Amino acid sequence: MANNIDKPEEKPPKISDKIVIEVKDLVKTYHSGAGDTLVLKGLNFQIHEGEFVSIMGPSGSGKSTTMHILGALDTATSGDYILDGVNTKDLSEDELAGVRSRKIGFIFQAFNLLAHKTVLENVMLPGMYGHLPMTLRHQKATELIKLVKLENRAHHRASQLSGGQQQRVAIARSLMMDPAIILADEPTGNLPTDQTDEVLRFLTSLNRDQGKTIIIITHEPAVASYSDRTIVLRDGVITSDGPANRNVHYDCA
Ligand SMILES: Nc1ncnc2c1ncn2[C@@H]1O[C@H](COP(=O)(O)OP(=O)(O)O)[C@@H](O)[C@H]1O
Ligand SMILES: [Mg+2]
């Protein structure tokens, strides 16, 4: 039976004039022994600070490739990616790594936590890479664990948590360096429906309450419906870019 889950849409996003992400004629070709595969065929879009955007498309359409480039984990074959006013073409590997650490928080489908480390240790990790002093790391991680309502699990190993709890740890971890942008690739893809809504609500509150720019990648309309704008990719081309359809609900039978 359809269950109308109310989304926190009463509260509109605070979108500023500042463009945090701009891609121009972005092309990606993978080279392998079998030949070249043209995966992104010239993408163009801009994302303003404070937007909550979903990137949708069927499997193989180029969503993860796009996310890797936006996250400065990979570079385009041609075209420009301007992140917070800086053309990433002009940055060295080291500079790119610095930008990645300071400006972007990542959330992955498979959570990517260290299974044998505690919740606290996992959340603190980006602070170590980002050279935060130990006491600050500890203090920030403790606050973030509270934010995702896992304070009574702080000393549990990641492997002892449910999928939804693990993804909330990953959300806390993504905030450790206080990034302006959160990139989430199929963040609910490994979760049962009843844990999906909660994770999406935490992401929504980061956008609405903290003004984080959020880009969520999904092939599920019900997930995209939490965002305000949907960019649809098909075979490496943007086929639509406009307001998200907010009237798609999970079936919680
Ligand atoms: N490292 C790679 N080498 C060659 N082809 C790749 C590589 N990564 C992805 N691809 C191909 O690029 C296309 C888009 O992949 P991807 O961006 O992962 O799509 P999506 O996330 O939308 O499912 C697919 O056809 C995939 O096989
Ligand atoms: Mg993918």
- The pLDDT mean for the chain works out to 92
More confident residue, 42 or 100: 42
Ligand showing the shortest atom-to-Cα distance for residue 109: 2
Q: Is it the case that residue 9 has pLDDT exceeding 60?
A: no
| Ligand 2: centre distance to CA 59 (Å) | 7
Mutate which of 30, 38, 68, 70 for ligand 1? The one with the most ligand atoms within 8 Å of its CB, which is: 30
Helices (H), 183-238: 193-210, 221-224
- How far apart CA 215 and CA 184 sit, in angstroms, is 6
DSSP string covering 19-65:
EEEEEEEEEEEEEETTEEEEEEEEEEEEEETT-EEEEE--TTSSHHH
Q: Whose CA is nearest to atom 5 of ligand 1?
A: 30
Give the H or E element holding residue 217.
strand 213-218
4 pLDDT higher than 50: no
Q: Is 251 within the bounds of a domain?
A: no
Q: Write down the pLDDT at residue 2.
A: 38
Q: State yes or no: pLDDT of 184 exceeds 50.
A: yes
* pLDDT at position 115 over 90: yes
With pLDDT > 90 as the criterion, what percentage of the chain qualifies? 85
Tell me the pLDDT tens digit for each residue of 134-152. Answer: 999 999 999 999 999 999 9
Query: What would the pLDDT profile of 193-217 be if each residue is shown by its tens digit?
Result: 889 999 999 999 999 999 999 999 9
Q: Using one digit for the tens of pLDDT, what is the confidence trace for 35-74? A: 999 999 999 999 999 999 999 999 999 999 999 999 999 9
Q: Which domain CATH number covers 117?
A: 3.40.50.300
Instruction: State the closest ligand 1 atom to the C-alpha of 62, by its place in the atom list counted from 1.
Output: 17
Is 155 within a domain? yes
Residue of the CA atom closest to atom 27 of ligand 1: 60
Mean predicted confidence (pLDDT) in 149-169: 96
**Ligand 1: which of 28, 37, 218 to mutate, judged by most atoms within 8 Å of the beta carbon?**
37
How much of the chain, in percent, has pLDDT values that exceed 70? 94
Query: What is the domain count for the chain?
Result: 1
Q: Which residues line ligand 1 (CB under 6 A)?
A: 30, 32, 37, 39, 57, 59-65
| Residue 160 within a domain | yes
Q: What is the pLDDT of residue 245?
A: 87
Is 189 inside a domain boundary? yes
Q: Is residue 125 part of a domain?
A: yes
Q: Give the pLDDT band (50/70/90) at residue 11.
A: confident
What is the extent of the structural domain holding 153?
49-68+110-243
Which of these ranges, 9-13, 151-155, 217-221, has the smallest mean pLDDT? 9-13
Instruction: Enter the pTM of the model.
Output: 0.92
For a pocket test of ligand 1, which of 29, 40, 65 has the largest count of ligand atoms closer than 8 A to its C-beta? 65
91 within a domain of the structure (yes/no): no
| 24 in a structural domain | no
Total count of residues recorded for the chain: 253
Q: Is 204 left (phi over 0), alpha (psi -120 to 50) or beta?
A: alpha
The pLDDT value recorded for residue 194 is 86
Round to whole Å and give the CA distance between 131 and 202. 27
How far apart (Å, rounded) are the C-alpha atoms in residues 204 and 250? Answer: 16
Ligand 2 centroid to Cα of residue 60, in Å, is 7
Residue 122 domain-assigned (yes or no): yes
- Would the pLDDT of 1 be above 90? no
